[in-house]
Structure 1
Amino acid sequence: MTITFVVNQVRKESPGYTTTALAFEAHRRGHTVYYVGIGDLVYLSDGYVGAHCRKVPDREFRSLHTFLEAVIGVEKQLVSSAEWHVMWLRNDPAVDMEKRPWAQDAGVLFGQLASKQGVLVLNNPDGLVRASNKIYLQYFPESVRPQTIVTRNMADVEAFYQAQKHRIILKPLKGSGGKNVFLLDKKEEKNRKQIVEAICRDGFVIAQEYLPAAKNGDTRLFLMEGQPLMKEGKVAAIHRVQQAGEIRSNIHQGGQAKRATMNKEMKTIVETIGPLLREDGMFLVGLDIVGDKLMEINVFSPGGLIHASEFHHVDFMEEVITAVEQKVANLTGNP
């Protein structure tokens, strides 16, 4: 199997990223693995998608650090998607929104072409178009999501703030990693206009009801094919706890990861949205859950799977790559 991982920029990848661990596991199994930055993608004169790829060297690696170091040091080579079985879109469009706006949609656009040419593209690029920002959550049943408005109008935010008894969360419609997420309450009331204006510089603002359970952090739960990712009876999930005085539990914002298990509220959420995610071709996603509510669905490059593996003493990457192998076998007729 030949699998091509598409990331924002190869040189900015980290050994701690889930993408690195997935690529490492695929290489360990003897598959041909390529790394591609968004800017490396090409549409070739013969009608195929291609890319200036970094091929993982054909040798063993003792750690994720040495693995990624070797990948970054490899010279690029132009490779046609006619040689790929899998194109895995692990880039985060929100990261490129400010400095590289041309790169935001490129992965999905090239992915759509590759998919029509017979390449297995993960997650499904047509589904990713629908899920390209946080409004995707509003397609799912109201019972599992917090009360929300999406607007650029200050009066709308004011009315929602009053209706929610002066305590709401504000964040950008397009964003990731906890960037520009604010708690608006009476303490911050005097700054509310500036906060909304700051978020609206990059587009729409999401205002959500504040969930008291959020003071205890959130849970990142991984779903594969619409079901909880499991290995040896253990579920791929982490509990993320924010620092003192901080509302954001994202690891990139200083949140601390802890072991997590699945409760009945999470099971209800999965039963409600799992089939819909599967219909949209969302092979691997990360759900951010607070209490009995789904706060976000991370469809591009959900992180934290290394933490989950360490806490549960199993390698969830093995399960994921096994599932990819099976999908390719089903497509090629070679089970």
Structure 2
Amino acid sequence: MRIAFFVKEVATEVDEYATTRLARAACRGGHEVWYIGVGDVELGESDGQLVGRARRAEFGEDDTLASFMEGIKEAEPERIVLDDLDALFLRNESIDDLQERPWASPLGAVFGQMLKARGVTVVNDPMSIIRATSKLYLEEFPEKIRPRSLVTRDPKAIEEFVARVGHSVVKPLYGGKGRNVFMIEDEDETNLAQMTEAVLQDGYAIVQEFVDGGENGDVRIFVLDGQILEHEGKPAAFRRVPTGNDPRANISVGGRSVPIEDGDPELGVVEAMTDKLVADGMFFVGIDVIGDKVVEINAESPGGMQSIERLYDMDVCPVVIEALERRVAAKP
């Protein structure tokens, strides 16, 4: 299988990323593996082919993740025809680029859709990713598994929602890594106007009711082809716990990861999502769950594989690559 990992920028990739672990698993599985950045694609002048200035990924017997990634960055770019790939794994983060490089933000989905039309297996489905980068995507799932919510740019409507619902969370509709996420105790919150103003600077806001148990963090669950990703019967999931006085559990803002416990109710939520995730071509996603409510769906470059390795001493990435092999092999 010829597989390319489409990333934000090869030079800024980090060895601890889930992408690095997925690429390592693909190399170990005997596949031809390439890295391509958002800015590394060309459309052929005469033949209309998509060409990538790609860097070969090769995992040596003595490599660590750090040396593996260093080797990729030091490799000379080679021009490869992307139309000839078997699979393209979209792992760029368009939300980050929306702030830093607006020109780059939509291109993963754009190039992915072009290659899908040319017969390349692209994961996740590019058109579904466009919907999923917005937190509106969660509203397409059954009401029973999501918190009450409001999407608006009207500060007054946010105040009225909080007055009705009480304890709430307000955050940007397009956002990630805990940026501009605020807890609102009730309608008497003294900083409500300032919180709302900060969120609305990023566009639309989504306000969600605070789910009981949220003060103890959430559970990140990896879902593969609509089912909980497992290795030898162990689910790829962990609890993210806030630290200090910061109520956010995101690892990027200082949250810590701990093992889930047998019987945690969060794992039961996935069943209600299976059919839609499969229908939407959501091959590999991370969902964030509190109790019996999904609070976020991470369809674009979901991370946290390092926590799975550290907490359970297991590598689930080969399971993902093997599933991708089967998907490619089943293609007409």
Smaller-chain TM-score bracket: over 0.9
Instruction: Name the counterpart of 1:148.
Output: 149
The answer to whether the Cα contact below 8 Å between 1:236 and 1:309 also exists between their aligned partners in 2 is no
CA distance in 2, matches of 1:252, 1:67: 23
Is there any run of 5+ residues in structure 2 with no aligned partner, and where? none
| In 1, Cα distance between equivalents of 2:109 and 2:236 | 26
3-state SS, counterpart of residue 97 of structure 1: helix
2:292 maps to which residue? Answer: 292
Answer yes or no: is the 8 Å Cα contact 2:28–2:59 preserved in 1.
Answer: no
Q: For residues 228 and 42 of structure 1, what CA distance do their matches in structure 2 show?
A: 37
Structure 1 residues 212, 13: closer, same or farther in 2, change over 3 A? same
- SS of 2:327 mapped into structure 1: helix
TM-score, length-normalised on structure 1? 0.95
- Contact map agreement 2:163 2:187 (CA 8 A) in 1: no
Shift of 1:42: 2.1
Measured in 2, the distance between the counterparts of 1:325 and 1:262 equals: 31
Q: 1:287 to 1:261 in 2, by over 3 A?
A: farther
Check 1:287–1:164 CA distance in 2 against 1; reply closer, same or farther (3 A cut).
same
Amino acid at match of 1:48: Q
Q: Which residue of 1 aligns with 2:91?
A: 90
Shift in CA distance, 188/220, structure 1 to aligned 2, threshold 3 Å = farther
Q: Matches of 1:297 and 1:162 in 2, distance apart?
A: 27
How far has the Cα of 1:314 moved from its partner? 2.2
Q: Structure 2 vs 1, CA of residues 235 and 329 (structure 1 numbering), >3 Å: closer, same or farther? A: same
Query: CA–CA distance in 2 between the matches of 1:299 and 1:94?
Result: 12
The aligned residue for residue 52 of structure 1 is 53
The answer for the alignment partner of 1:329 in structure 2 is: 329
Seen in structure 2, the aligned counterparts of structure 1 residues 61 and 279 have a Cα distance that, compared at 3 Å, is farther
What is residue 19 of structure 1 aligned with on the other side?
A: 19
Q: Partner amino acid for 1:136?
A: Y
1:100 aligns with 2:97: no
- Percent identical across equivalent pairs? 38
Residues 25-74 of structure 1, C-alpha deviations (whole Å, 9 max, x = no match): 11122211111111112222322222111112474442111000111111
* Residues 75-113 of structure 1: CA deviation (Å, up to 9, x unaligned): 212211133111110111111111201111100001000
Is the aligned partner of 1:191 residue 2:181?
no
Contact 1:223 1:284 in 2 (8 A): yes
Q: What's the secondary structure of 1:247's corresponding residue?
A: coil
Read off the aligned partner of 1:251 and give its amino acid letter.
I
CA spacing shift, 1:58–1:235, aligned 2, 3 Å: closer
1:118 equivalent in alignment to 2:119: yes
1:160-179 equivalent positions in 2, closer than 5 A: 160-165=161-166, 167-179=167-179
Aligned residues: 331
Separation in structure 2 between the aligned mates of residue 186 and residue 135 of structure 1, nearest angstrom: 24
**Residues 235 and 262 in structure 1, CA contact (< 8 A), matched pair in contact too:** no
**TM-aligned CA distance change 1:169 to 1:110, over 3 Å:** same
Give how far 1:328 is off.
Answer: 1.5
Query: Where do 1:1-335 residues align within 5 Å?
Result: 1-45=1-45, 46-57=47-58, 59-165=60-166, 167-185=167-185, 189-261=189-261, 263=263, 265-331=265-331
Contact 2:220 2:286 in 1 (8 A): yes
CA–CA separation in structure 1 for the residues paired with 2:249 and 2:263: 19
Distance 2:62 2:48 in 1: 36
Whole-angstrom CA distance in 1 between matches of 2:11 and 2:62: 18
In the superposition, the TM-score normalised over structure 2's length comes to: 0.95
Which is further off, 188-197 or 147-156?
188-197
Q: Secondary structure at the match of 2:103?
A: helix
- Aligned partners of 2:16, 2:188: CA distance in 1, in Å? 35
Write the letter of the residue equivalent to 2:25: E
Aligned equivalents of 1:52 and 1:229: distance in 2?
Answer: 32
CA-based RMSD of the aligned residues comes to 1.6
Does the Cα contact within 8 Å between 2:95 and 2:133 map onto a contact in 1? no
Spell out, residue by residue over 1:237-275, the C-alpha distance to the aligned partner (whole angstroms, 9 max, x if none): 011101121111011010101112464633441111111
